[in-house]
Amino acid sequence: MVALYLSSQIKTRITRFFNHLYFAHLFHIIFLALLSLTMALMTICKAEALETDLLEPRPPYLFMTVENAEDIQVKKRLTTVRSRLVNIDFSLLPDPEENFVAEPEGEMELILNVFSGLEFTALIQKIEKNRSGSYSWYGILKDVPFSQVVLVVNQGTVFGQISKPNFTYQIRHITNGIHAVYEVDPSKFPPDGEPIAPEIESKSSTITNPQKESDGTSEPAPPSLEDSLYQNPFPKSGIGYGQMGDAPLSGIATKPDTLTSSSNSSASDPGVQADDGTVIDVLVVYTAEAKAEEGGTSAIETLIDLAESETNAAYSNSGVDHVIRVVAKQEISFSESGFSFSEFLNSAQDGSISGLQALRDTNGADLVVVLVDGDDSLCGLGYLMTTVASSFAPFGYSVTQTNCATGNYSFGHEIGHNMAARHDRANDNTDGAPFDYNHGYVDSSNGFKTIMGTSSDTRISNFSNPNVLFGGAVTGVAEGDPLAADNRLTFQNTSLTVSNFRQAIDSPSNQAFASIVPFSNSNRVISPYWQSDSSSYSFIAVTHPSLTSMASQIGVIVRAIKNDGTLFGSAKSFTVDSSATNRIFIVRSSHPIINSTSLTDVELITGNSTFQHGFLHLNPVASNPNISVDGFRDITRLSYWGAIVVENNTTGFAMEFIGDTHDSAATPSMADSAAVSGVN
């Protein structure tokens, strides 16, 4: 019995031992599993945290998707590949004046998410305020060769053009802040019309007071002395000019009486100014149908700002010295019923459009552009100047379809015809009317054409110029070659005549003085004398000395004011980087070496070759230079030096600058009540 009892106890203990061992092992397994799971979760969390730390913040996209927009109709045009409705993040497009900054800090970046999975980085290089109050933003696409970005921002709307080889993208306002982004196939634009060369009697190229045209045959009034042409700055053109201008001074500069516009004017209108060819004034009118197609008055007038900006960007790309300036925009009462491009152009020219010619005279417009909805048969039609003469003034008209005005560059294309530019030689091989080189250029092997080209290749934002390259290929053919194509030289030889089809009413000098007045003496710099003529020019250097508290980039605006108080050339704005030096030349537009083709890293203020002189005015781009934005943008802290260079005998003399940190002639306090010496 004892043995049986002991055997039973041993069996029980052994069973309990193995039971404990089993549960211990099971617990161990469960514990290890839970530990592994916990470690895995910790690893995942750590990895997610690490990934969050490593990822850059989501970029600020310019375009935001529109929700619940089924009722909004997007326009479908021949050129449209696809479209998208968007809202604009206007926090990325600040008003420069509100931020005391009118130039970007280096290159501003905008992420253009044009379509799902397709985005570009725009590098904004320049911002300009337009006459209408809108702002034009200019730039390129990062890592996209031969691209261009032009955005016009106007009171909560954006009209823009994003151009790259083979495809372009348009931004248009639709309604109530909603915009559309269009992908456009440039090959689908309607053709360009063959320009009409009017039969007019050849007259000497004299600049006269504007004559209101009735039928294009009236003789211009005899020119007064002040309206006579300048000495010929373009000897290759074969056009003879008279001579006028101030006699050179003998060591003493005549200063303007005040910093206000003076009276180089006609007796009847003190606002009328003689023009020097640097600005072509353009009147743009539009039909009710064109206005409706673009979405209303504000929309079409912002489109006009875009066309103006795009055309001037093309001039800059091509080394062209002049710019266009839209002096007025207005709707006309003339129906497009039974539309025909040729009939509409004739109606604009012959006075059939009520009030149009009077509107041209009132605004001093050298040329007139009529925007139409059109019929898609052509992109535009204009008159072609075949003789460089004031007698062509009555034919300074063109008609352009709105959907071609930008993107296809038809706005600037038709203006080009008015200024004697012809199509490419495959389309028009005419020579001698008025030049042998006034053609557009086509390079089919590289797949592009310039603005006056008419092939099926992609149109680029350039006028023909043999000295400008596009992707390593020339964009023109030099004068003297049987295939010569140089619209840059064409415009150089016609801009003076065209700019005086009507003398400017609201002259660039008046605009310049409006900008000068708000700046106190303590914020501006003056040089009492500069000069330019057929054998001399002025050179200025501006250096950023990197002083403590200075902004790393400072924007400067330079104006060369003539001794009669008007503006020579146009104002130039630029940014001076820390420790860098910027160079400015005040020079005749026909200079063989100092020009935008030969020198690409300088600022050029150009005008005609007669003797011109006056004083130099420099003011800050920033409207509040005494408010620090990463440093003060005070131009008086920059260093200035310059010289008048006489080319005939390689002599000259130094220029004086008053108001900078080295000024010895200015009053100690530089108070507003104390005039800067030399210019009061």
- Which residue, 617, 504, 607, 625, is CA-closest to 255? 617
Q: Is 67 a catalytic residue?
A: no
List CB contacts of 99: < 8 A, sequence separation 6 or more: 629
List CB contacts of 167: < 8 A, sequence separation 6 or more: 81, 183, 184, 185, 186
- Which residue, 439, 427, 442, 420, is CA-closest to 479? 439
List CB contacts of 650: < 8 A, sequence separation 6 or more: none
Q: In which residue are the tokens 């990934």 written? A: 51
- The answer to whether 136 touches 128, Cβ cutoff 8 Å, is yes
Residue 578 Cα distances to 105, 377, 531, 551, 582, angstroms: 12, 54, 29, 8, 11
Tokens for 532, please give them: 């330019």
- The answer to whether 491 touches 450, Cβ cutoff 8 Å, is no
Q: What one-letter code names the amino acid at 284?
A: V
Give the strands of the sheet with 603-607, arranged side by side: 603-607, 581-588, 536-543, 639-646, 651-654
Helix axes 487-499, 297-318, angle to 10 degrees: 120
Distance of alpha carbon 516 from alpha carbon 648, whole angstroms: 35
- Which residue, 511, 537, 510, 543, is CA-closest to 525? 543
Q: In which residue are the tokens 């180089």 written? A: 264
Alpha helices in 479-584 (DSSP H): 487-499, 508-516
Distance of alpha carbon 143 from alpha carbon 632, whole angstroms: 33
- The answer to whether 609 touches 559, Cβ cutoff 8 Å, is no
User: Which of the residues 103, 289, 293, 414 is marked catalytic?
Assistant: 414
Distance of alpha carbon 79 from alpha carbon 379, whole angstroms: 12
Handedness of CA 660, 666, 671, 674 (dihedral sign): negative
Helix axes 297-318, 410-418, angle to 10 degrees: 60
DSSP 59: P
| Residue environment code for 70-96, b if the CB has 16+ CB neighbours within 10 A, otherwise e | eeeebeebebbeebbbbebeeeebeeb
Alpha helices in 225-374 (DSSP H): 288-294, 297-318, 341-350, 356-363
> How many Cα atoms sit within 13 Å of 453 on the Cβ side?
25
Beta bridge partners of residue 398, listed in sequence order: 369, 382
Maximum distance among all Cα pairs of the chain, rounded to whole angstroms:
153
Q: In which residue are the tokens 């023109």 written? A: 476
- Which residue, 77, 152, 138, is CA-closest to 103? 138
- The answer to whether 495 touches 321, Cβ cutoff 8 Å, is yes
Handedness of CA 36, 37, 39, 44 (dihedral sign): positive
Own/partner long-range contacts of 136-143 (Cβ < 8 Å, ≥24 apart): 136/305, 136/306, 136/309, 137/93, 138/309, 138/313, 139/107, 139/108, 139/110, 141/112, 142/109
Residue 606 Cα distances to 283, 502, 536, 617, 634, angstroms: 24, 20, 12, 16, 26
Query: Mind telling me the catalytic residues?
Result: 414
